[in-house]
Chain A
Amino acid sequence: MKTMAHVLVIDDEPQMQRALRTILGAHNYRVSTAPSGEEGLALAAAEKPDVIILDLSLPDMDGIEVCTQLRQWTQIPIIILSVRSDEGDKIKALDQGADDYLVKPFGTGELLARLRVAQRHLAKSQGEPDTVIVSGDLTIDLTRHIVTRAGIEVKLTATEYRLLAYLAGHANRVLTHPHILEHVWGPEYRDDVEYLRVFMSQLRKKLEAQPKKPVHILSEPGIGYRFITDA
């Protein structure tokens, strides 16, 4: 059997540390905890964990700063913990290289799903990237630029395709609005969320069985979008 995945939790709340230790331990993760940013950075360097769970409000330093410092030397997946209505901070942290985020309070199911995505992402970044991405009845062939839904080709405009390809290429990760706009439309469109909204709505009409209840591309309210692939 594969060795147990190692998770580093950087959070100053003793009860949160205790709960995560118990829950993750029960799901076969090895857990280390650090109560401050400094200790977290030191532990990350010493133990080289597989995934880091990082709380944005730490007693000694800004969580975004921890994120930036980690990214200077490692690509270890980072999952951010934060509270609702800190959308600005979440976007900053994601743009600083964090992979995903969870809003406190969160359910165990969500936490485990995020951890699995992070691990898969890590595994993938070390091997060859997928050229064919599958999400339910949807298949995106990134080399041949063909999108099919239930075996039938879906006609997309150039921008719709670029948008979908970009999301699918970073499947299961949260991509922030400014980030997507910059990469699909160009840096000068960073703040023009309306483009994204309109094209996303068109894209969903073509891809989703129920555009109002999307299953392929999920909205992260106020943050961005996430393309979901089959596990």
Chain B
Amino acid sequence: MRLFFLPDSSNRSRFLHDRLLGFALALVIVSLVTAALLLLREELNTSTVALLYLIPVLVSTTMWGLWPGVFSAFAAFLAYNYFFLPPYYTFIVHENQDIIALLILLVVAVFNSQLVARARSGQAAAVTRERETTLLYELSLDLARAGSPAEIAAVLARKSSDMVRAAHLEVSIGPMYGEQSFRLSIPENNPPDKTPDAVIPLETVRASVGEIRMWLNVPPLTPGQERLLRAYAAQGTLALERMALAHTETRAQVLEESDRLKSALLSSVTHELRTPLATIKASTTSLISDEIPWKAPARHDLLSVIDEETDYLNYLVGNLLDMSRIEAGALKPKRHWNILSEIIDGVLVRLHRMLSGFTVDMHIPDDLPVVPVDYSQMEQVFVNLLTNAAKYAPQGSTIQIEANLRDENTALVSVKNEGPQVKPDHLDRIFDKFYRITEPEKVSGTGLGLSICKGIVEAHGGRIWAENVPSGLAFRFTIPLRLDGNPPPQIEAEDL
């Protein structure tokens, strides 16, 4: 919607035309009234005629403005004098009261034209205000939908250029909330090589955040345009500020959340580290003490406890390190082509003591291609999944490890245990940090194992999830089979 047209040459001639038409019509209406009164001249006295001459003057000022009105007043007076004051058909004024008639006609013309003009300009102002309000309302609607400083700039640029026909318009916004500073131009080319005709700042209470610059076809801006542009700028600045506040609030929430997690981690870790330490301390102080001469089997028992607990402590510390790497985004897998079964075999050997009470069933087809994974990290995924299985599944149950191709680009691995199932709405949450299915007192662990698995699998570009299966719980994850865009290498078998 374009509202403010700059007067150009065609408008100017039209304006003149309208004015002349006003004078002509004023003359016509005075003539018509004169003709009508002439017919009735014998029946009317002169003062009544003078009174009736007010009609064309009122009509002229109301319809065509002050000057046609004044013109009609003179015309009416002359006609009154010529046709109705004796001696008829002369312009000679005989009595002072006739001059008064002329003055009254003039005063009526002037007063009426001013009244009408005031009413008109009041109406015009009301229309303008209504249009400005509509424009601002549309702007604020668009701004409310904008989701970034760039979108705000785009809305400002579009709305400003709709309002003012500018040769070139540029909205620039300074660097905000981690986003680069940027410019947006309409049209999309370099601005003219001269200083802009109008610069509307976008400023908050504290600082200037940007500018709207305009190069006009016909400078300068009209006061109306400038006023509305400043209102646009104020709205735009408000939108930017609102975004800044939302941004700060999100950051604050993230920090708060991360603080909360850190203290949860600390309390979980101190508890978890203390448990094996307590066992170790108890065993070693017993052995050091001279009070009891320990028999060989008892000594061996105590020492085995110490040995197992130190291994467990080492596992905990390893998980903590992995977690802090994942948190810091420093977990960059060094991916190489590896044989999955070799990784799992190594883990089974390492965990043989922990898994001694379970049957481990492994089904991996011989023709499964090599997988692009970080050997140690993938080991850690299996260590954590198997440790988890050993923790929750009953002794003597079976742990099933399977791997196969889901499609030509993805391998699917599952580790199933016969442990308790998980409520469907908790299946996602078990990968959250510190989440435990059971009460912390019943099962030991930092609650980090599965979230580390998730971190590692996702760093490899895969996905991990848990599923309830008839016999228990299955953990499944995918491994994308592309390394730098290449499929698994086919290594030719050699002839003997």
- A127 in the interface (beta carbon within 8 A): no
- A221 in the interface (beta carbon within 8 A): yes
Beta-carbon nearest neighbor of A220 in chain B = B346
Please indicate the chain A residues that have their CB under 8 angstroms from the CB of B494 in the complex.
157-160
Q: Could you tell me the distance between the alpha carbons of A160 and B342 in the complex, rounded to whole angstroms?
A: 18
Q: Could you tell me the distance between the alpha carbons of A192 and B376 in the complex, rounded to whole angstroms?
A: 17
The answer on a CB contact under 8 Å between B370 and A197 is yes
Q: Quick one: given A105-B310, A105-B314, are A213 and B345 in contact (CB under 8 Å)? A: yes
Q: Quick one: given A85-B321, A213-B349, A221-B379, are A193 and B310 in contact (CB under 8 Å)? A: no
How far does the Cβ of A205 sit from chain B's closest Cβ, in whole Å? 10
- B296 in the interface (beta carbon within 8 A): no
Q: Could you tell me the distance between the alpha carbons of A198 and B492 in the complex, rounded to whole angstroms?
A: 10
Q: Could you tell me the distance between the alpha carbons of A155 and B133 in the complex, rounded to whole angstroms?
A: 92
- B375 in the interface (beta carbon within 8 A): yes
Checking A85, A155, A157, A202 against B376 with a beta-carbon cut-off of 8 angstroms, the contacting residue is A85
- B260 in the interface (beta carbon within 8 A): no
The answer on a CB contact under 8 Å between B495 and A87 is no
The answer on a CB contact under 8 Å between B346 and A219 is yes
Please indicate the chain B residues that have their CB under 8 angstroms from the CB of A194 in the complex.
336-338, 370, 488-489, 491
How far does the Cβ of A178 sit from chain B's closest Cβ, in whole Å? 11
Checking B318, B338, B346 against A197 with a beta-carbon cut-off of 8 angstroms, the contacting residue is B338
Checking A88, A158, A198, A222 against B339 with a beta-carbon cut-off of 8 angstroms, the contacting residue is A198
Q: Could you tell me the distance between the alpha carbons of A198 and B371 in the complex, rounded to whole angstroms?
A: 12
Please indicate the chain B residues that have their CB under 8 angstroms from the CB of A87 in the complex.
334, 375-376
Q: Could you tell me the distance between the alpha carbons of A194 and B486 in the complex, rounded to whole angstroms?
A: 13
State which residues 299-343 of B face A: CB under 8 Å.
Answer: 307, 310, 314, 318, 321-322, 334, 336-339, 341-343
Please indicate the chain B residues that have their CB under 8 angstroms from the CB of A18 in the complex.
none
How far does the Cβ of A207 sit from chain B's closest Cβ, in whole Å? 15
The answer on a CB contact under 8 Å between B491 and A84 is no
Interface centre among A87, A107, A192, A212 (most CB of B within 10 A): A212
Please indicate the chain A residues that have their CB under 8 angstroms from the CB of B346 in the complex.
219, 221
Q: Give the total number of A-B pairs whose CB atoms are below 8 A apart.
A: 66
The answer on a CB contact under 8 Å between A221 and B376 is yes
How far does the Cβ of A86 sit from chain B's closest Cβ, in whole Å? 10
- B205 in the interface (beta carbon within 8 A): no
- A201 in the interface (beta carbon within 8 A): yes
How far does the Cβ of B339 sit from chain A's closest Cβ, in whole Å? 5
The answer on a CB contact under 8 Å between B318 and A193 is no
Beta-carbon nearest neighbor of A87 in chain B = B376
User: Which bucket holds chain B's interface residue count?
Assistant: 20 to 34
- B496 in the interface (beta carbon within 8 A): yes
Q: Could you tell me the distance between the alpha carbons of A68 and B485 in the complex, rounded to whole angstroms?
A: 37
Please indicate the chain A residues that have their CB under 8 angstroms from the CB of B307 in the complex.
107
How far does the Cβ of A139 sit from chain B's closest Cβ, in whole Å? 19
Checking A156, A158, A199, A212 against B345 with a beta-carbon cut-off of 8 angstroms, the contacting residue is A212
Q: Could you tell me the distance between the alpha carbons of A158 and B494 in the complex, rounded to whole angstroms?
A: 8
User: Which bucket holds chain A's interface residue count?
Assistant: 20 to 34
Please indicate the chain A residues that have their CB under 8 angstroms from the CB of B375 in the complex.
87, 221-222
The answer on a CB contact under 8 Å between B339 and A212 is no
Please indicate the chain B residues that have their CB under 8 angstroms from the CB of A159 in the complex.
494
State which residues 186-212 of A face B: CB under 8 Å.
Answer: 191-195, 197-202, 212
Q: Mark B473-496, 1 if CB is under 8 A from A, else 0.
A: 000000000000000110101111
Q: Quick one: given A105-B314, A194-B370, A194-B489, are A157 and B495 in contact (CB under 8 Å)? A: yes
How far does the Cβ of B452 sit from chain A's closest Cβ, in whole Å? 12
The answer on a CB contact under 8 Å between B376 and A222 is yes
Q: Could you tell me the distance between the alpha carbons of A219 and B345 in the complex, rounded to whole angstroms?
A: 10
Q: Could you tell me the distance between the alpha carbons of A105 and B379 in the complex, rounded to whole angstroms?
A: 18
The answer on a CB contact under 8 Å between B342 and A84 is no
Q: Quick one: given A201-B342, A212-B345, are A193 and B336 in contact (CB under 8 Å)? A: yes
How far does the Cβ of B320 sit from chain A's closest Cβ, in whole Å? 12
Q: Could you tell me the distance between the alpha carbons of A222 and B373 in the complex, rounded to whole angstroms?
A: 11
The answer on a CB contact under 8 Å between A198 and B370 is yes
Q: Could you tell me the distance between the alpha carbons of A222 and B338 in the complex, rounded to whole angstroms?
A: 10
The answer on a CB contact under 8 Å between B376 and A197 is no
How far does the Cβ of A190 sit from chain B's closest Cβ, in whole Å? 12
Please indicate the chain A residues that have their CB under 8 angstroms from the CB of B337 in the complex.
192-194, 197
Q: Could you tell me the distance between the alpha carbons of A148 and B362 in the complex, rounded to whole angstroms?
A: 30
Beta-carbon nearest neighbor of B349 in chain A = A213
Please indicate the chain A residues that have their CB under 8 angstroms from the CB of B349 in the complex.
213
Beta-carbon nearest neighbor of A105 in chain B = B314
How far does the Cβ of A8 sit from chain B's closest Cβ, in whole Å? 26
Q: Could you tell me the distance between the alpha carbons of A199 and B491 in the complex, rounded to whole angstroms?
A: 9
Beta-carbon nearest neighbor of B352 in chain A = A213
Please indicate the chain A residues that have their CB under 8 angstroms from the CB of B334 in the complex.
87-88
Q: Could you tell me the distance between the alpha carbons of A195 and B494 in the complex, rounded to whole angstroms?
A: 12
Please indicate the chain A residues that have their CB under 8 angstroms from the CB of B348 in the complex.
212
Please indicate the chain A residues that have their CB under 8 angstroms from the CB of B489 in the complex.
192, 194
Please indicate the chain B residues that have their CB under 8 angstroms from the CB of A105 in the complex.
310, 314
Q: Could you tell me the distance between the alpha carbons of A200 and B375 in the complex, rounded to whole angstroms?
A: 15
Q: Mark A75-93, 1 if CB is under 8 A from B, else 0.
A: 0000000001101100000
How far does the Cβ of B364 sit from chain A's closest Cβ, in whole Å? 10
Checking B314, B341, B370 against A212 with a beta-carbon cut-off of 8 angstroms, the contacting residue is B341
Please indicate the chain A residues that have their CB under 8 angstroms from the CB of B322 in the complex.
85
How far does the Cβ of A41 sit from chain B's closest Cβ, in whole Å? 30
Q: Could you tell me the distance between the alpha carbons of A198 and B491 in the complex, rounded to whole angstroms?
A: 7
Q: Mark B368-390, 1 if CB is under 8 A from A, else 0.
A: 00100011100100000000000
Q: Could you tell me the distance between the alpha carbons of A87 and B374 in the complex, rounded to whole angstroms?
A: 11
Q: Could you tell me the distance between the alpha carbons of A179 and B8 in the complex, rounded to whole angstroms?
A: 85
Q: Which A residues are within 8 Å of any B CB, using their own CB?
A: 84-85, 87-88, 105, 107, 155-160, 191-195, 197-202, 212-213, 219, 221-222
Q: Which 8 A-B residue pairs are closest in the complex by CB-CB distance?
A: A194-B337, A157-B494, A222-B375, A193-B336, A222-B376, A212-B345, A198-B491, A197-B339
Q: Which B residues are within 8 Å of any A CB, using their own CB?
A: 307, 310, 314, 318, 321-322, 334, 336-339, 341-343, 345-346, 348-349, 362, 370, 374-376, 379, 488-489, 491, 493-496
11 more CB-based (< 8 A) A-B contacts, given A85-B376, A155-B496, A193-B337: A84-B318, A157-B494, A193-B338, A194-B336, A194-B337, A194-B489, A195-B491, A197-B342, A198-B339, A200-B342, A201-B341
21 A-B pairs with C-beta separation under 8 A: A84-B318, A85-B322, A88-B334, A107-B307, A156-B496, A157-B494, A158-B494, A193-B336, A193-B337, A193-B338, A195-B491, A197-B338, A198-B339, A198-B370, A212-B345, A213-B349, A219-B346, A221-B343, A221-B376, A221-B379, A222-B379
